[in-house]
Structure 1
């Protein structure tokens, strides 16, 4: 099958912004699975830096090969932190470090691109909250179309779609992308795609490191939650 491609009119977005779009309720603007999504967005920033030939993974550590800014605020902020680190750290360390600002930076990007709008409200008249309802649904529709083609229809994904599938799979966010599909079928298809050869070797190494780190972090988080609640 032919690979799904982006339509000419689609607004360019980062993988982190695409992940956030999948998590936001279109009408209320509330985020689902926010803890996992923040981790996935952090992992996406690492992979985007690899896609731009700025970093690679060597002996399990993230190393800089080019410190030139990419031109996307959230990605440049992540790259600057990595460049400024005296000693290389693992993908897991970076995902944990970058998650603090991941959601805010992705939201800022979506607002700047006119895809969501910010609404400030107070819960119970006291607690201030921010919500990000949809302003332009064209990008989310295009992203979901590519995911459907790759995961449900068997189309060969392009590089960025393959990365997105791997990140969703690693963060256990299958239901965000495919809320109505058979969960087992989706998980199996995403597992197969995540192991595919849709990216250059250097990028695949970063994707694999990020995916493994996501799985490990989330497993620990779930275990800690279960123990705390027992």
Structure 2
């Protein structure tokens, strides 16, 4: 089963037993970034410097990506370009909900609803199909810990995880120095065409900038 980069980030963040999401705010940036990167790889969006441009609105064949693409088209309001940070800031919380819904539709997780203390509604997403996550973690381990050469999608996923500082979600059992060092190496490596690597670098910068702006606004 092929799931998107955004869903892979989301899956890594969910506790296998309780189904609760960890590091939700940072995950939100990575999930939104994952959607955007998928659209770049699919040739629907270009990211250059601080700007993104919608270049093709035809269907990708994936419901999650197509829903975000439609929202982005509306958000662009006919403009040629808009800031990457603005889109990521707008989409990060909504992209999480969309990724969770997509994982449920695919049968990877199931949604459970209950009330905490009998009053407050709580949603959890425990795993229904553990094969998808096991294969994902094996792929990451092969590249990050065993030194295998990444394909474009795996390298893109690693770059997203590294940018959002989600190393512990991918590797909860330690190896922190090795993980951080190798992920940084992959994120800046020669694993894809220069246009895609440039887009990743610009998205990483946008994610950092958006996070700083959000933190500053919350503290003011």
Give the structure-2-normalised TM-score: 0.92
- 2:145 corresponds to: 152
TM-fit CA distance, 1:217: 2.8
Counterpart CA distance in 1 for 2:48 and 2:204 is 16
Counterpart of 2:85 (choices 56, 72, 92) is 92
CA RMSD of aligned residues (A): 1.7
Question: Alignment length, in residue pairs?
Answer: 217
Asked if structure 2 preserves the Cα contact closer than 8 Å seen for 1:23 and 1:32, the reply is yes
SS in 1 for 2:53: strand
Counterpart of 1:45 (choices 16, 26, 35) is 35
- 1:104 corresponds to: 97
Where does the alignment leave 5 or more consecutive residues of structure 1 unmatched? 1-10
Where does the alignment leave 5 or more consecutive residues of structure 2 unmatched? none
Counterpart CA distance in 2 for 1:110 and 1:59 is 32
Asked if structure 1 preserves the Cα contact closer than 8 Å seen for 2:113 and 2:124, the reply is yes
Counterpart CA distance in 2 for 1:183 and 1:215 is 21
Counterpart CA distance in 2 for 1:19 and 1:96 is 17
Which of 189-198 and 68-77 deviates more?
68-77
Counterpart CA distance in 1 for 2:133 and 2:216 is 32
Counterpart CA distance in 1 for 2:49 and 2:29 is 22
SS in 2 for 1:133: coil
SS in 2 for 1:188: helix
Q: Does 1:187 align with 2:180?
A: yes
Q: Does 1:122 align with 2:127?
A: no
SS in 2 for 1:46: helix
Pick closer, same or farther for the CA change 1:220–1:185 going to 2, 3 Å: farther
Q: Does 1:28 align with 2:18?
A: yes
- 2:4 corresponds to: 14
Give the structure-1-normalised TM-score: 0.88
